[in-house]
Amino acid sequence: MTERTIPNASTGAPRVFSGAQPSADSMHLGNYLGAVRNWVDMQSDHECIYFIPDLHAITVPQDPAQLAERTRKTAAQYIASGIDPTSTPFFVQSHVPEHSQLAWLLTCITGDGEARRMTQFKDKSAKQGAENTSAGLYAYPMLMAADILLYQTDQVPVGEDQRQHLELTRNLAQRFNQRFGETFVVPEAKIMKSTAKIYDLQNPTAKMSKSGLSDNGAIWLLDEPKKMAKKIKSAVTDDGSEIRFDRDSKPGVSNLLSIYSSLTGQSIEEIETEFEGKMYGHLKVALAEIVVDTLGPIRERTLEIMNDPAELDRLLAIGAEKAREIAGPTVASAYEHMGFLAPRA
Ligand code: TYM
């Protein structure tokens, strides 16, 4: 692994970088448990930088009338979830042009076959059809690699669905360093096993996602508490009545148990014991209360923060400025290593 070219904060703590797309009005429980909650926890002993990848969002069509508002809402949800704006910079991707600059360099050292093997690209393009698939969707993983490498990142906390993109990022960092000289830190994915993949409540073999088939499949952080409870109570469960974790034969109950465990800190075994002899309905009622207790205050805080968009924009501007202090020198170093003629000073 290459040494940092940009010194870390005085603490010398590992640097962490991650983000969630502003492609919906609200993040969902999968985003929260698989990613955001870990970002919050990592603030105590890591140097964290978080961002809102709006350039990623436009790889599929976005309504221009909604994009800016969704970007602010995502930022508000970061703070409401516990990202501390006084100590952790967070910013909007399109405010830092170095992301697009480095993405191009990385795209040019990525093989076509390598890019086509990305399962998210394969799945999404198969769903949309070639005619409706943008070249941006194809280039998405190289932009993601640029996001991470710009900040000389050590660890990237993400859900399971991003593992392959992280592998590509590592390969590109190593390839660049080998071909052109040490430039980038080679980052590691940080995937929490228990929450790596939260499943859709109506279709518990598919991941909970912003584009699920039914709105009832996802709990949105900004859902009204009553609605959250209703969605948990109407979650699809399995044949039989035993409350037991078994991903293959009981995907619905297993998903509820994972969510329960990660929100309470209790082990799956403890929860199974607690609900021994009880019905699925009992588990759902208890879980609905826990979900509402956790997400209800996040929702309220988000709505409060959204009342002061000017303050939010101010925090995002500070974040972008800090980000550019790191991203600027990284891009300059990458240009130099690749052999570009430097512009005259
Ligand atoms: P995105 O916006 O789809 O999701 C944000 C984070 O939430 C995780 N996640 C889940 N985790 C568990 N269960 C689920 N059902 C679930 N659904 C989503 C995702 O793994 C992710 O960590 N490409 C990224 C955004 C991105 C990025 C980056 C992330 C762009 N550049 C650089 C890290 C570093 C994405 O689309 O995440």
Whose tokens are 């221009």? That residue is 64
Note the helical H segments in 4-63. 29-31, 37-42, 54-57
CA nearest ligand 1 atom 24, residue: 20
Q: Using CA positions, which residue lies closest to atom 33 of ligand 1?
A: 18
Beta carbon of 316 within 6 Å of any ligand 1 atom:
no
Residue 4 has pLDDT above 50, yes or no: no
- The verdict on whether 127 is a catalytic residue reads no
For tokens 């040490």, the residue is 182
Residue 146 beta carbon below 6 angstroms from any ligand 1 atom: no
Mean pLDDT for 138-158 is: 98
Of 299, 190, 297, 259, whose CA–CA distance to 33 is shortest?
259
Nearest to 335 by CA among 147, 105, 149, 136: 105
d(CA 250, CA 317): 47
* Cα 91 from Cα 196, distance rounded (Å): 24
Q: How many other CB atoms are there within 10 angstroms of residue 307's CB atom?
A: 9
User: Over the stretch 11-60, which tens digit does the pLDDT of each residue have?
Assistant: 689 999 999 999 999 999 999 999 999 999 999 999 999 999 999 999 99
Mutate to test the pocket of ligand 1, among 90, 92, 137, 162 (most ligand atoms within 8 A of CB): 162
20 CA to centre of ligand 1 in angstroms? 5
Which tokens hold the place of 326?
């790191």
Of the candidates 179, 194, 188, 192, which has an alpha carbon nearest to the alpha carbon of residue 271? 194
How many angstroms separate the alpha carbon of residue 162 from the centre of ligand 1? 6
pLDDT band at 345 (very low <50, low <70, confident <90, very high): confident
Which pLDDT does position 37 carry in this prediction?
96
Say if residue 10's pLDDT is above 70.
Answer: no
pLDDT tens, position by position, 299-312: 999 999 999 999 99
- Residue 124 among the catalytic residues: yes
Strand partners of residue 207: 199
C-alpha–C-alpha distance, residues 3 and 157, integer Å: 21
pLDDT of residue 212: 83
- Paired residues of 156 in beta bridges: 189
Summarize pLDDT for 97-114 with one digit per residue, the tens: 999 999 999 999 999 999
pLDDT at 211: 87
pLDDT digits (tens, 9 = 90+) for 218-277: 999 999 999 999 999 999 998 889 999 999 999 999 999 999 999 999 999 999 999 999
Q: Is the pLDDT of residue 9 over 60?
A: no
Q: Whose CA is nearest to atom 36 of ligand 1?
A: 21
Residues 6+ apart with CB under 8 A from 201: 208, 216, 217, 218, 219, 231, 232, 234, 235, 236, 252, 255
Q: Ligand 1 pocket test: which of 27, 31, 205 has the largest number of ligand atoms within 8 Å of its C-beta?
A: 31
* Dist. CA 120–CA 141, nearest whole Å: 9
Tell me the average pLDDT across 181-192. 97
Residue 7 or 265, more confident: 265
Q: What pLDDT is attached to residue 233?
A: 97
pTM (2 decimals)?
0.96
Q: Residue 226 catalytic?
A: no
